């Protein structure tokens, strides 16, 4: 989709960083829509989620990747490969860190992967939680480790300095075409976004009781004559003991997950939703290549 304007800028930007530094929150704030799953649990994002921000003079395509970390299972290996592969495909890399006097060991590991000619912008998130001295030390120490093109302190949650970050990104983008239509927000299908919403609510509701080993599959999605969309979904877990926790006493936990998910799904689809959830056991699915493929981790 070409753009006639010679001064139109466009390009691809990836957000990398340790798990749980706020990458998904930042992307959602930049886009202005909730596309990527947010949870207090690490390694929440599993697939590369492509979102699009289109303005009069530019279009930015964001790739939100899983956090780069040392993998512990096949799912972890898949997540790290996705993140590393993305770095070589984009026009600008955003490396996201949090204020720390010393360079975090996990961040050093990520910096070692940055053997690229692509400009890398250092984004220091959660600056509202750090004093000025700590922030200055963070900027100094990280810039000693790598030749960052720019450094931008932000608070993704409180939307502090987001506009400044956008200006930096647009400045680094090449002149180019409009890749996607103006009204397009993401390349992910509806079913994927809905399954991610359900998984997010499960992670938030279950807290620390159930490890990260859950997956969600949309079994059926139908729009009925009365304008209600009916959705059937299965939450898979790795252990039999987890199944009881997810369902809860008299099904109360599962009901809570469904109620919270339905609110966000209705906002996303713009219609009323009837959501039916089931819980099934799939032992050690994170180390099973067939299961990983069936859940979309290809």
pTM of the model as a whole = 0.60
Q: Which of 158, 249, 256 is nearest to 207 (CA)?
A: 256
Rg (CA), the chain: 20
Grade residue 19 by pLDDT with cuts at 50, 70 and 90: confident
| d(C-alpha 232, C-alpha 203), whole Å | 19
pLDDT in tens, 41-63: 444 444 556 788 889 999 998 87
Query: Are the C-beta atoms of 65 and 52 separated by less than 8 Å?
Result: no
**Which is the CATH superfamily of the domain at 190-294?**
K homology (KH) domain (3.30.300.20)
Grade residue 29 by pLDDT with cuts at 50, 70 and 90: confident
Grade residue 208 by pLDDT with cuts at 50, 70 and 90: low
What pLDDT is stored for residue 233 in this prediction?
92
Beta bridge partners of 53: 60
Query: Are the C-beta atoms of 291 and 238 separated by less than 8 Å?
Result: no
Share of the chain above pLDDT 70, in %: 77
As a whole number, mean pLDDT of residues 18-33 equals: 79
Query: Are the C-beta atoms of 148 and 123 separated by less than 8 Å?
Result: no
**Does the pLDDT value for residue 185 go beyond 90?**
no
Grade residue 160 by pLDDT with cuts at 50, 70 and 90: very high
| d(C-alpha 218, C-alpha 226), whole Å | 21
- Weakest-pLDDT range from 148-157, 212-221, 226-235: 212-221
DSSP E strands: which ranges in the chain? 9-17, 49-54, 58-64, 92-97, 120-124, 150-153, 214-223, 229-237, 273-281
> Cβ contacts of residue 252 below 8 Å, gap of 6+?
none
**Does the pLDDT value for residue 96 go beyond 70?**
yes
Domain residue ranges in the chain: 9-172, 190-294
DSSP category for residue 127: G
- Report the CATH fold assignment for 9-172: Rossmann fold (3.40.50)
Report the SS3 class of residue 168: helix
**Does the pLDDT value for residue 77 go beyond 70?**
no
**Does the pLDDT value for residue 117 go beyond 70?**
yes
């Amino acid at each position: 989709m070409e753009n006639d304007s010679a001064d139109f800028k466009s390009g691809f930007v990836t957000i990398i960083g340790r798990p749980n530094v706020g990458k998904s929150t930042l992307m959602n704030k930049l886009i202005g829509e909730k596309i990527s799953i947010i949870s207090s649990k690490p390694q929440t994002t599993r697939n590369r989620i492509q979102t699009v921000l289109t303005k009069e003079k530019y279009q930015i395509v964001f790739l939100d990747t899983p956090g780069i970390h040392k993998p512990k299972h096949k799912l972890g290996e898949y997540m790290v490969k996705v993140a590393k592969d993305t770095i070589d495909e984009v026009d600008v890399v955003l490396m996201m860190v949090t204020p720390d006097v010393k360079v975090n060991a996990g961040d050093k590991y990520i910096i070692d992967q940055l053997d690229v000619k692509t400009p890398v912008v250092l984004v220091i998130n959660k600056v509202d939680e750090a004093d000025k001295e700590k922030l200055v030390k963070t900027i100094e120490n990280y810039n000693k480790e790598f030749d960052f093109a720019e450094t931008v302190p932000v608070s993704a949650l409180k939307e502090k300095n987001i506009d400044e970050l956008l200006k930096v990104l647009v400045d680094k983008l090449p002149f180019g075409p409009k890749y996607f239509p103006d009204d397009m927000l993401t390349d992910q299908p509806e079913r994927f976004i809905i399954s991610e919403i359900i998984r997010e609510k499960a992670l938030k509701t279950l807290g620390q009781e159930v490890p990260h080993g859950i997956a969600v599959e949309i079994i059926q999605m139908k729009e009925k004559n009365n304008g209600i969309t009916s959705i059937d979904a299965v939450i898979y877990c790795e252990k039999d003991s987890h199944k009881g926790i997810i369902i809860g006493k008299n099904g109360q936990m599962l009901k809570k997950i469904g109620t919270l998910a339905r609110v966000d799904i209705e906002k996303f689809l713009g219609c009323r939703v009837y959501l039916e959830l089931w819980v099934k056991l799939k032992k050690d699915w994170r180390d099973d290549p067939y299961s990983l493929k069936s859940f979309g981790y290809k």
